[in-house]
């Protein structure tokens, strides 16, 4: 087993990332790379899936996969339960890091910054375009809480279906979006022999600076 792990390696040769082809601010490059990922990555890879890391009050890190659901000039938006473990962590420490990995393209993007809640109106606008099952699930599931068994979840869902049998479910107050306002965005392109390209953008005041990092 240990030897098998030690022998697992791939050489990355698909592409490069040079300053000459990188814009002076990171959003345009993220949009380009994201479009590349959407057109290149095959199912079951979801191009908008990323790892979101948060820290708790004691400074301990926690990470999990989430789906990116919005990108605008301010930042990167995802949706979740505000009372979940990550919701509690973000209330205590409103900073996060997200990492995208697009394996076919041999690319990684790391984004770090402060996190703010989006308005209830913005959350509701997204909530209303979700499939009914997901909308009901947001009401029914006490995300991250201990439940007895699968039957308890099914009973919670049944009660929610009955509650909304005649009305359209609205977005719960305990569910909605967060926006990560980036202060650092790093683009990583795998290269041969582990001599990868890393271009790092840092926000200084209102301007982005770009620097190359050693792999």
Ligand X SMILES: Cc1cc2nc3c(=O)[nH]c(=O)nc-3n(C[C@H](O)[C@H](O)[C@H](O)COP(=O)(O)O)c2cc1C
Binding-site sequence positions for FMN:
64-69, 79-80, 86, 108, 143-144, 188, 198
x/- string (CB under 6 A) for ligand X, residues 8-47?
--------------------------------------x-
Smallest gap from residue 99 Cβ to ligand X (A)? 13
Which residues participate in catalysis according to the annotation?
194
Q: State in angstroms the smallest separation of the CB of 15 from ligand X.
A: 25
Residue 145 in the binding site for ligand X (CB under 6 A)? no
Task: CB nearer to ligand X: give 123 or 189.
Answer: 123
The tally of CA atoms less than 13 A away on the side-chain side of residue 136 is 18
Site size toward ligand X, by CB under 6 A:
15
Among 28, 38, 45, 67, interactor with ligand X by CB under 6 A:
67
Count the alpha carbons within 13 Å of 175 in the hemisphere toward its beta carbon.
Answer: 21
Decide if residue 139 touches ligand X (CB under 6 A).
Answer: no
Residue 13: alpha-carbon gap to chain centroid: 26
Shortest CB 84 distance to ligand X, Å: 3
Is 143 an interacting residue with respect to ligand X (CB under 6 A)?
yes
Given 14, 21, 31, 64, the residue binding ligand X (CB under 6 A): 64
Give the x/- contact pattern for ligand X in 72-91, rule: CB under 6 A.
------xxx---xxx-----
Site for ligand X in 154-213 (CB under 6 A): none
Using CB under 6 A as the binding rule, the residues of this chain from 91 to 110 that contact ligand X are: none
- Report how far residue 169's alpha carbon sits from residue 176's, in angstroms, rounded to the nearest whole number: 14
Instruction: Enumerate binding residues for ligand X (CB under 6 A).
Output: 46, 49, 62, 64-67, 78-80, 84-86, 143-144
């Amino acid at each position: 087993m240990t030897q098998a792990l030690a022998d697992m390696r791939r050489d990355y040769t698909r592409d490069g990332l040079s300053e000459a082809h990188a814009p002076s601010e990171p959003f345009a490059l993220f949009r380009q790379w994201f479009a590349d990922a959407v057109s290149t990555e095959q199912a079951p890879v979801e191009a908008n899936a990323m790892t979101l890391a948060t820290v708790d009050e004691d400074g301990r890190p926690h990470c999990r996969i989430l789906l990116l659901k919005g990108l605008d000039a301010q930042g990167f938006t995802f949706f979740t339960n505000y009372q979940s473990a990550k919701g509690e962590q973000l209330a205590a420490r409103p900073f996060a890091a997200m990492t995208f990995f697009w394996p076919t393209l041999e690319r990684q993007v790391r984004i770090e910054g402060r996190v703010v809640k989006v308005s209830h109106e913005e959350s509701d606008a997204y909530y209303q375009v979700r499939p009914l099952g997901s909308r009901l699930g947001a009401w029914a599931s006490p995300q991250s809480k201990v439940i007895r068994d699968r039957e308890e979840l099914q009973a919670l869902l049944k009660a929610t279906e009955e509650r909304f049998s005649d009305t359209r479910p609205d977005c719960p107050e305990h569910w909605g979006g967060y926006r990560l306002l980036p202060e650092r965005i790093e683009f990583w392109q795998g290269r041969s022999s582990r001599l990868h390209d890393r271009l790092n953008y840092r926000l200084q005041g209102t301007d982005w600076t770009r620097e190359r990092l050693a792999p």
